[in-house]
Amino acid sequence: MIIESEFTPARWLKNRHAQTIYPALPWTWRSYPALRRQELELPDGDITAVDWLVAGDNLAGTAPLLVILHGLEGSAESSYARMLMEAALKLGWRSCVLHFRDCGDYRNRLPRRYHAGETNDLRYFLEHLHKYPESAENAGPVVAVGYSLGGNVLLKYLGESEDDTPLRAATAVCVPLNLHECAGALEQGFSKVYQRYLLKRMKQSMKRKFDRHTAAFDWDRAMRSRTFAEFDDWVTAPLHGFDGMQDYYDRCSSVKFLKGIERPTLIVNALDDPFMTPEVIPSEDQLSAQVTLEVATAGGHVGFINGGTPWNPTFYLPERILGFLQPYAAMPGL
């Protein structure tokens, strides 16, 4: 089902780039809740990190658990993750951020990082939780939210898993449903600024992990990459077993997995998102009966600021996300 969003941008922040950039400014969300880090050993011998909201430790183990997947080069420190964890706590929910490998200021062991189609780590984490339902720590219903790249991972996982998942419901926000389209969008106009900024961070991460002698890819070409398509062709693909960028995008674009989703799922995307084009929006026949696609005319990329003042803005997404998930988190066990 495709529906029109009720989101209306704040009258003082209607530009799509302003909506995208503003939430990252330090004064827009000043709260930094205490987090507890857990190391997650992965089946292939690698490791990543899960950050848990400390305030949630005081809740009963049967309380709902919200699992958050961050975006490209994001972490539990990202403003969207912090504000959602605090909003979930007000509902009496526990929450955590599952970091992708080599993210969240936590280095992994193996010569690889993460990509938009890596669902095995999420699957392992959720099965690890589900394996111990009698545990006081993780005995409640589990729901999930993915932002941007994390949303792509979440939707792909749901489509692959069909009915075989412990998740009750899920929400994905500003998802690059078609990786080909999104890579092209970031080569246009002002969107090149985001591409340049993120590529710089990704190259810095590469330099922390590899050098020209240890890299399992062409180091010089990787450092010369000027677009996501080049970086994914020269770094992401060879690091993670894909036959180039085209193969990676073809196999990992979540639009191809939407038909297989069998858990209630809300996707919220904006037509003015500078990380993609309107062509990313799928047709209704590409969605399963369990998927609701909410399309907003505005909102930018993970912005969706709907009011307040420049020094104290209000945000549409936390209430919308939790409002959708709440009925499923309250349902008796499946």
Based on the structure, what is the number of domains in the chain?
Answer: 1
Q: Of the candidates 16, 40, 56, which has an alpha carbon nearest to the alpha carbon of residue 185?
A: 16
CA distance 181 to 35: 36
In a domain, 74, yes or no: yes
The CA-based diameter of the chain, rounded to the nearest angstrom, is 55
CA distance 54 to 35: 5
CA distance 73 to 238: 19
Q: Are 323 and 93 in contact (CB under 8 A)?
A: no
Helix, strand, coil shares of the chain as percentages rounded to 5? 40, 20, 45
Residue type, 138: N
In a domain, 98, yes or no: yes
In a domain, 44, yes or no: yes
| Boundaries of domain holding 89 | 2-178+253-328
In a domain, 243, yes or no: no
In a domain, 280, yes or no: yes
In a domain, 131, yes or no: yes
CA distance 266 to 321: 8
pTM value?
0.94
Residues belonging to the active site: 148, 273, 301
CATH number at 110 reads 3.40.50.1820
In a domain, 241, yes or no: no
CA distance 82 to 23: 12
Residue type, 1: M
In a domain, 198, yes or no: no
Give, for all 334 residues of the chain, the pLDDT tens digit.
Answer: 999 999 999 999 999 999 999 998 988 888 999 999 999 999 999 999 999 999 999 898 889 999 999 999 999 999 999 999 999 999 999 999 999 999 988 889 998 889 999 999 999 999 988 654 444 567 789 999 999 999 999 999 999 999 999 999 999 999 999 999 999 999 999 999 999 999 999 999 888 888 888 888 889 898 999 999 999 999 999 999 999 999 999 999 999 999 999 999 999 999 999 999 999 999 999 999 999 999 999 999 999 999 999 999 999 999 999 999 999 998 655 5
Q: Taking the CB of residue 320, how many other CB atoms lie within 10 A of it?
A: 21
CA distance 86 to 31: 9
Task: Classify residue 39 as exposed, middle or buried by CB count within 10 Å of its CB (0-12, 13-18, 19+).
Answer: exposed
Beta bridge partners of 42: none
Q: Are 325 and 143 in contact (CB under 8 A)?
A: yes
